[in-house]
């Protein structure tokens, strides 16, 4: 199929999908953006130090990874906007310490063609791709990368990576054995640069209102039964003390977010591929353990343990419930201490959330399940004259954040606490940097009072954690994420040797691209009906049959074809 026809067909399909999505209402991308932002704060890498110079790039094979364009070039991009309150000293999304550094060090003038709404705009990029109105260099998710490759809208970056990637960047790209790079490779061509990162930080954590535990004389749970008894107490024993029956335990949204850790407690693994007894990969969404977990959720809903209105509440409404002092249990990310809990604490003096490991529903240990650790890919428009800018901007990010010229207060987190690390348009992170590296380094420094071995980021964490231990409540969020005890990093460190990572690490298969949206919608509708009691638990079996017929079987075949080649 010709490129023009592919793009035209894609445009019709995506525009129709976008209109349908818009008609269905809002989305929950705000939480995803917050995840990337807060998770980045405690991420760094011990990379090979690289001296930065400002010289012209050459056309031969030996190029300067930091070579400056003279005269400067203009690069067009797009991104989700950061809220105004994430800037200081008059900086903006378009003009800040990192955009100025791009121009000063590399001769790159970064111009945003558009900035998505900070609360999340899932359709704007899809529409841009469908209409072939894309910028020079930008970030996309896995599905969008596949669409761009299929539409022949982006260019091969194989030579760009080989010629321009600094030693530090190449070393980081090989830390996972090249899996991330492989996921961005099509027919032997590297079509995107992955946003390298680790997946342990995506594992679910059990967050509990420990001020409510203390008030009711309860201990943290070690089993699922104990957790459910706590949930019952949070509903029936008036933990907020207002004399009303208006609190509930486990918080979930209409998207059914906030349940992964619960499912994992029943040894069910939604969204990832796991080995069956024959050694083949099967989708965790259709496993028998998922039916068991849904049956328990149906019981909880009927008993009033869940918010009766969850089916009409998006993620934002759940956050409102937390701030309104209504929620006591929340499965979710390690960075929740920053948001939503820190904001909620400011509105509710005395509120205390602490992280705990997920708990098991039987005598087998609960094992957290995690997906592929790359969720964003950086691509260059077909025909763009300088695709190497992606790699050069990544080189600069690593050097200014962690290399010989690193200045944490200038480029990462300011003295006022402003998260400057959110500003770069392109970023990469080391897989093990948060956990165990940062956690163990800071813990040792807190215990020994010796900071001589800490890198700039770790020193920043150490200072905030020490301040909290000395009574500074402004550093509560940092302590709850990265502190030596009672922190989410401590919980994640305990997961390190038991984590279950998806067996499929490739790009979206052709049938995934075509059918995944339909399958996801079917799943959400069926699971919601089962939980609310509008359908019996056995409806799960019908769901599995439909899932297979509507493309699930073909996806499974494609996944296992990939898997067999990796053995």
What is the Cα–Cα distance from 258 to 342, expressed in whole angstroms?
A: 18
Task: Note whether 251 and 348 are within 8 A (CB).
Answer: no
143 and 377 in contact (C-beta within 8 Å)? no
Long-range contacts of 16-25 (CB under 8 A, 24+ apart): 17/126, 17/517, 18/123, 18/126, 18/127, 18/130, 21/122, 21/123, 22/123, 25/314
pLDDT of residue 232: 94
Taking the C-alpha atoms of residue 519 and residue 552, their distance in angstroms, rounded to an integer, is 8
Residues in the chain: 567
Nearest to 98 by CA among 392, 455, 376, 412: 412
What does the pLDDT read at residue 8?
A: 37
Token pair, residue 449, equals 């009072």
Residue pointed to by tokens 């799943």: 523
Q: How far apart are CA 68 and CA 395, in angstroms?
A: 12
Can you give the pLDDT at residue 43?
A: 37
Cis ω on the peptide bond leading into residue 107 (within 30° of 0)?
A: no
Q: Please provide the DSSP assignment of 140-164 as one string.
A: E-HHHHHHHHHTT-B---HHHHHHH
Whether residue 71 is preceded by a cis peptide bond, meaning omega within 30 degrees of 0, is yes
pLDDT of residue 272: 94
- In angstroms, rounded to a whole number, what is the distance separating the alpha carbons of residues 493 and 15? 44
DSSP assignment, residue 433?
A: I
In the predicted model, residues of the chain with pLDDT beneath 50 are: 1-60
* Tens-digit pLDDT profile for residues 73-89: 999 999 999 989 899 99
Nearest CA among 495, 254, 246, 182 for reference residue 355: 495
pTM: 0.77
At residue 464, the pLDDT reads 93
What domains sit in the chain, N to C, each tagged with a CATH number?
Answer: 3-15+43-200+374-422 (3.40.190.10), 204-367+509-566 (3.40.190.10)
**What is the pLDDT at residue 54?**
36
Q: Determine what percent of the chain falls in helix, strand and coil, rounding each to the nearest 5.
A: 50, 10, 40
Residue 163's Cβ-count burial label (10 Å; 0-12, 13-18, 19+) is: middle
pLDDT score recorded for residue 61: 58
CA distance 224 to 501: 22
d(CA 248, CA 239): 10
CA separation for the pair 65, 68 (Å, rounded): 9
**What strand order describes the sheet that includes 327-332?**
248-250, 327-332, 205-209, 353-356
Q: Which helix (H) or strand (E) holds 441?
A: helix 439-448
Residue 344 contacts by C-beta under 8 Å, 6 or more apart in sequence? 322, 323, 325, 351
Tell me if 187 sits within 8 A of 152, measured CB to CB.
Answer: no
């Amino acid at each position: 199929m010709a490129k023009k026809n592919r793009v035209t067909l894609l445009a019709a399909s995506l525009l129709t999908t976008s209109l349908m999505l818009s008609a269905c209402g809002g989305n929950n991308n705000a939480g995803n953006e917050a995840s990337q932002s807060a998770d980045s704060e405690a991420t760094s890498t011990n990379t090979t130090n690289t001296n930065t110079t400002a010289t012209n790039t050459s056309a031969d094979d030996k190029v300067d990874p930091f070579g400056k364009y003279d005269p400067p070039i203009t690069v067009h991009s797009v991104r989700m906007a950061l809220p105004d309150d994430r800037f200081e000293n008059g900086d903006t999304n378009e003009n800040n310490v990192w955009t100025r550094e791009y121009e000063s060090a590399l001769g790159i003038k970064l111009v945003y063609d558009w900035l998505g709404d900070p609360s999340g705009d899932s359709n704007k990029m899809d529409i841009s791709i469908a209409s072939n109105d894309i910028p020079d260099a930008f970030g996309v998710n896995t599905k969008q990368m596949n669409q761009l490759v299929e539409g022949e809208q982006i260019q091969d970056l194989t030579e760009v990576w080989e010629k321009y990637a600094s030693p530090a960047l190449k070393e980081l790209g090989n830390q996972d054995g090249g899996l991330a790079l492989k996921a961005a490779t099509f027919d032997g061509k590297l079509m995107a640069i992955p946003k390298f990162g680790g997946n342990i930080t995506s594992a679910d954590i059990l967050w509990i209102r420990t001020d409510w535990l203390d008030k009711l004389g309860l201990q943290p749970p070690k089993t699922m039964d104990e957790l459910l008894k706590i949930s019952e107490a949070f509903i029936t024993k008036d933990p907020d003390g207002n004399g009303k029956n208006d609190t509930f335990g486990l918080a979930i949204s209409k998207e059914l977010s906030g349940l992964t850790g619960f499912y994992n407690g029943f040894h069910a693994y939604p969204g990832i591929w796991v080995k069956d007894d024959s050694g083949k990969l099967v989708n965790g969404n259709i496993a028998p353990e998922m039916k068991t977990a849904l049956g328990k959720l149906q019981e909880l809903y009927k008993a009033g343990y869940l918010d009766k209105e969850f089916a009409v509440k998006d993620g934002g409404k759940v956050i409102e419930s937390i701030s309104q002092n209504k929620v006591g249990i929340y499965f979710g990310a390690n960075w929740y201490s920053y948001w939503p809990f820190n904001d909620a604490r400011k509105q509710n003096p005395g509120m205390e959330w602490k992280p705990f490991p997920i708990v098991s529903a039987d005598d087998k240990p609960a094992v957290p399940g995690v997906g592929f650790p790359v969720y964003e890919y950086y691509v260059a428009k077909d025909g763009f004259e300088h695709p190497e800018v992606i790699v050069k901007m990544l080189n600069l990010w690593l050097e200014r954040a962690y290399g010989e010229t690193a200045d944490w207060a200038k480029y990462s987190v300011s003295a006022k606490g402003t998260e400057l690390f959110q500003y770069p348009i392109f970023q990469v992170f080391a897989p093990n940097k948060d956990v165990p590296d940062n956690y163990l380094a800071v813990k040792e420094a807190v215990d020994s009072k010796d900071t001589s071995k800490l890198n700039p980021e770790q020193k920043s964490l150490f200072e905030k954690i020490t301040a909290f231990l000395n009574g500074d409540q402004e550093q509560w969020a940092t302590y709850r994420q990265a502190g030596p005890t009672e922190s989410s990093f401590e919980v994640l460190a305990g997961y390190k040797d038991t984590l279950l990572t998806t067996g499929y690490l490739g790009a979206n298969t052709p049938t995934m691209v075509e059918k995944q949206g339909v399958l996801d919608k079917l799943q959400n509708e069926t699971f919601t009906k089962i939980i609310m009691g509008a359908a019996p638990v056995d409806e799960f079996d019908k769901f599995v049959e439909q899932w297979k017929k509507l493309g699930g079987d073909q996806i499974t075949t494609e996944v296992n074809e990939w898997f067999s080649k990796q053995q």
